[in-house]
Amino acid sequence: MMQTLDLKSLSLREVNSNLQGSPQKIDWMIKNPMGRHAIAVGLDNSINVKIDGSVGYYCGGMNKKANIVVNGSVGPGVAENMMSGTVQVKGNASQYAGASAHGGILIIEGNSSSRCGISMKGIDIIVQGNVGHMSAFMAQAGNLVICGDAGDALGDSIYEANIFVIGKVKSLGADCVEKKMEKSHKNLLKKLFMKAKIDNMEVEGFRRYGSARSLYNFNVDNANKY
For 42-91, what is each residue's pLDDT tens digit? 999 999 999 999 999 999 999 999 999 999 999 999 999 999 999 999 99
223 CB-near residues (< 8 Å, 6+ apart):
none
Average pLDDT (5-30) is 96
Q: Using one digit for the tens of pLDDT, what is the confidence trace for 20-29?
A: 999 999 999 9
- 200 — pLDDT class (breaks 50, 70, 90): confident
Q: Using one digit for the tens of pLDDT, what is the confidence trace for 79-90?
A: 999 999 999 999
Q: Evaluate whether 104 touches 124 at the Cβ level (below 8 Å).
A: yes
3 C-beta neighbours (distance < 10 Å), count: 14
Q: Is the pLDDT of residue 185 over 70?
A: yes
pLDDT at res. 218: 67
The alpha carbon of residue 59 and the mean position of all alpha carbons in its chain are separated, in whole angstroms, by 12
Q: Using one digit for the tens of pLDDT, what is the confidence trace for 120-139?
A: 999 999 999 999 999 999 99
Which residues are bridge partners to 141 per DSSP? 121
Please give the Cα distance from 141 to 120 (Å, whole number). 6
Please give the Cα distance from 104 to 142 (Å, whole number). 10
| pTM for the full predicted model | 0.95
Tell me the percentage of the chain whose pLDDT exceeds 90. Answer: 92
Q: Using one digit for the tens of pLDDT, what is the confidence trace for 201-218?
A: 999 999 999 999 987 776
pLDDT at res. 219: 72
How many residues does the structure list for the chain? 226
Query: What are the φ and ψ backbone dihedral angles of 162, each rounded to 5 degrees?
Result: -105, 140
Q: Evaluate whether 170 touches 149 at the Cβ level (below 8 Å).
A: yes
Hey, what's the torsion of the CAs at 106, 47, 27, 49, to 10 degrees?
-30
Average pLDDT (110-125) is 98
Q: What is the mean pLDDT of the chain?
A: 96
Q: Evaluate whether 62 touches 41 at the Cβ level (below 8 Å).
A: yes
Q: Using one digit for the tens of pLDDT, what is the confidence trace for 147-176?
A: 999 999 999 999 999 999 999 999 999 999
34 CB-near residues (< 8 Å, 6+ apart):
7, 8, 53
Average pLDDT (92-108) is 98
Please give the Cα distance from 182 to 27 (Å, whole number). 40
Q: Evaluate whether 212 touches 175 at the Cβ level (below 8 Å).
A: yes
Sheet holding 176-179: strands in order across? 2-6, 27-31, 48-52, 67-70, 86-89, 105-108, 121-127, 141-146, 162-165, 207-211, 176-179
43 C-beta neighbours (distance < 10 Å), count: 24
